[in-house]
Amino acid sequence: MLLDLSDRRVVVTGASRGIGRAIARAFAAEGCRLAVCARGEDALAEAAEELRALGAAEVFARPVDVRDTPAVHAFVDAAAEALGGLDVLVNNAGQGGSGTVDTLTAEQLMEHGNLIQGSHLRLAKAVVPHLRAQGGGRIININAVAGKFPQPNGLQSSVNRAAALALSDALASGLGKDNILVNSVNLGFVDTGQWVRHRDHHAPDATVEQVQEAYATAIPLGRLATPEDVAGVVVFLASDAASYVTRASIDVTGGLGVGRMFPAEAVARLREQTSAAAAAR
């Protein structure tokens, strides 16, 4: 089956690096017209040039903080004008969040929530009028499996990703009558630039590669996802092949599931080994 997406006009948030950039690249390779945003102006400009080189029919790029409601609406309206309408929104911007009941404040939880489910709703509200005007479209929310399998040491991600899953479900239920399909793609451990943060938090004397290998012990497929693994699912959901898929919650995790979300024993062993080696030097 060939996925012909050459007529799609697609918005991708957080598109300057990592998963968002891989998603934008996948749509560019399909010849789509793209509207991309991120906070970093230089990285976004570099991404836009790459997308044009990969075959995107058109690229509209603007620096945007997805926590800024007026800026989001201005970006979406300008994108719709530049591309002649909109067909697909990919809500990708966001980041993980840790914390326990002893370390996390309510204010920190709410601030993280504004970036996750807050931005998902903010972008949806801006895009939906454009989708309704043309008889339908797609909203694809990039989420995390932490929202389904809460972890005590990751309260921010557990709580706010669960809220984002509920939001996606509610949007799908409410927008079906408008032929707007809404789905959630839930990630586990993906090989992106954020692993330095994981290393520094869990095993600062280890290499990033060693920490990734420890995490992979919790994954039945035995490896982290690549950004391209995620992008393939997103492109499918934007295609005509998924024209009867809505209110779906799709895990792209390599089989990661409840009880195995965090490889505590493997990470603890790595921390002990590398700490001892560092002390002996």
> What does the DSSP assignment read for 189-216?
-B-STTHHHHHHHH-TTS-HHHHHHHHH
Q: How far apart are CA 96 and CA 202, in angstroms?
A: 15
In a domain, 277, yes or no: no
Is position 40 within any domain? yes
Instruction: Supply the pLDDT for residue 222.
Output: 93
Domain presence at residue 262: no
Containing structural domain, residue 167:
9-192+225-256
Considering the entire predicted model, what is its pTM?
0.93
The span from the CA of 181 to the CA of 175, in Å, is 7
| Three-class secondary structure of residue 174 per DSSP | helix
Cα–Cα distance, 218 to 216 (Å, whole number): 5
16 is written with which tokens? 């300057």
Residue 275, in any domain of the structure: no
For the sheet with 58-63, list strands across it: 58-63, 33-38, 9-13, 88-91, 137-144, 180-187, 249-252
How far apart are alpha carbons 48 and 134 in whole angstroms?
26
What mean pLDDT do residues 64-68 have? 97
Q: Into how many domains does the chain fold? A: 1
What pLDDT is stored for residue 281 in this prediction? 67
- The tokens of 30 are what? 């399909």
Question: Would you say residue 67 lies in a domain?
Answer: yes
Please give the structure tokens belonging to residue 155: 């309260």
Query: Is residue 13 domain-resident?
Result: yes
pLDDT at residue 180 is higher than 80: yes
| CATH number assigned to the domain comprising residue 238 | 3.40.50.720
Of 2-11, 65-74, 75-84, 111-120, the poorest mean pLDDT is in 2-11
Distance CA 136, CA 150 (A): 34
Backbone angles phi, psi at 89, to 5 degrees: -115, 130
1 in a domain, yes or no? Answer: no
Helix (H, G, I), strand (E, B), or coil: what is residue 51?
A: helix
Is 97 inside a domain boundary? yes
Q: State the amino acid at position 152 in one-letter form.
A: P
* Per-residue confidence band for 196, with pLDDT thresholds at 50, 70 and 90: confident
Residues above pLDDT 70, as percent of the chain: 98
Inform me whether the pLDDT recorded for 194 exceeds 80: no
pLDDT at 234 over 70: yes
Stretch 243-272: mean pLDDT, rounded? 84
